[in-house]
Structures are given as structure tokens and as C-alpha cells.
Structure 1
Amino acid sequence: MDDLVQFLRARLDEGRANVQSAIDTSEPNVGDWELADLDSKRQIVDYVARELEDHGADNPWWYDDKLLPILRLLALPYADHPGYRPEWRPTD
């Protein structure tokens, strides 16, 4: 799970840097919405990671079943990235 979280954070940070660069160069049709979208995804990743970490081995049995798929779905758009792992692909 830690590798998946790190992967997602890195991709979202890259995306944010790209959007910010486009904004800084006044590229049309790029702006606050794209930043808000990336920031909200980052908040979801951080929330899920925190929930999974906070309880450690005491996580309820359903945590992995319910929370890990959220991270896998967020990673799916990056499936063509060389760092993406096949085991992260959603199962459902």
C-alpha cells in the first residue's frame, strides 16, 4: 500500500507542477479547475492512507476491501506509466 500511495502522490505532484507551469505561461483553457481536481485527489489519497495507517494491524477486516480499491481506482489513469504495477489494477 505504501508504494501505491507514494506512486499516486508523485503522479499528482507532477500533474500539479504541469498545470501550474501551464498557468504561469498563460496557456489557454488551463487553470483553477485542474488544480482543484488534482488537489482533491491528493486529499483523497492522504485521507485513505491515513485511515489505513492509523489503525495498523487493528484495522477492521473490511478496511483493505473498502479503502484499497479507492487508491487503485485513482491510480488507473496512470496505468501506462512505467512505475505502475499490474497488481494495482482494480479487481472489480
Structure 2
Amino acid sequence: MSTDLVEFLHARFDDDEQAAHAALGTNELAQPAGQQARWVRQGDQIWSQGRSDVPVVGKTWARPAEHIVRHDPARVLSEVDAKRRVLADAASFTEDGQQAVFQLLALPYADHPDYRPEWAPGTSA
């Protein structure tokens, strides 16, 4: 499997992690993994647990609010950690297994300008 795809994945995971920390107003050393404040919906606003002075998101509609809360920065950080573990564990897979895992991990980033069509699931790279 192409090292370019693995490098692409590491870069996207780093981007996701940095964006989550920016949304939390923290850095990677601020809180241990899994201990970040979760976002919760209260009425038509979204708040960070443990902070009640300023809402994270002001007035919003119910459906977008539920989506925002479901994909809060703490969850993104947890998902990044899980994806990095899958990437590391894939080293023990067959070459075909690695390719399939890497292609699937890259699929959510298909709209990124550095994504290559040959990385789509089911193609041979």
C-alpha cells in the first residue's frame, strides 16, 4: 500500500485533532484523552459541560443542534484516537487487508484536495 495514503491519513487525523482542540479552546496537553468536556444541548443552545457562562453555539434549530452535540470535539478526539489505533494495528494485516482498511479510513476525506481517486475502496493502488 502506498505510503502516500498512510501519510495522507496521518495528516487528516492531525487536522481533525487540531480542529477539535481549537473548538474546545485547548491544546493536546490540556486534558488527558477521554476527559474532554462534552457538549450538551439545552433548549436551543449548545453548552460545554462544566461551563455555564457562555454557550458554545447560540440559538440553533433542533436537528442541527443534535448533530453538533453528537459530533462534539471530545467525540472527534476519541474517533481520531481510534482511527490511529486501527492504522497501527493494520500493520499486522495482509497487504490486501491493509489496502482495504486504509482506503476505508480515507473515504470520509474524499472531498479533500489531496485525496486521490485511486484510493477509493475497491480500487487497486
Q: Same fold (TM over 0.5)?
A: yes
Q: What does the per-residue CA deviation read over 1:2-50, in whole Å, with 9 as the maximum and x for residues that have no partner?
A: 10000000000000000011011764532322211111101211222x3
Q: So what's the TM-score if we normalise by structure 1?
A: 0.76
TM-score between the two structures when normalised by the length of structure 2: 0.57
Amino acid at match of 2:80: L
Q: Which has the higher contact order (CA 8 A, sep 6+)?
A: 1
More helix by share: 1
Is 2:95 the partner of 1:64?
A: yes
The size of the alignment, in residue pairs, is 81
Q: Deviations over 1:43-64 (max 9, x none)?
A: 211222x336xxxxxxxxxx12
Cα RMSD, aligned residues only:
2.0
| Residue 87 of structure 2 corresponds to residue 45 of structure 1 | yes
Q: 1:83 aligned to 2:114?
A: yes
**Where in structure 1 are there 5+ consecutive unaligned residues?**
53-62
Aligned residues of 2:16 and 2:80 also touching (Cα < 8 A): yes
**Structure 2 SS opposite 1:83:** coil
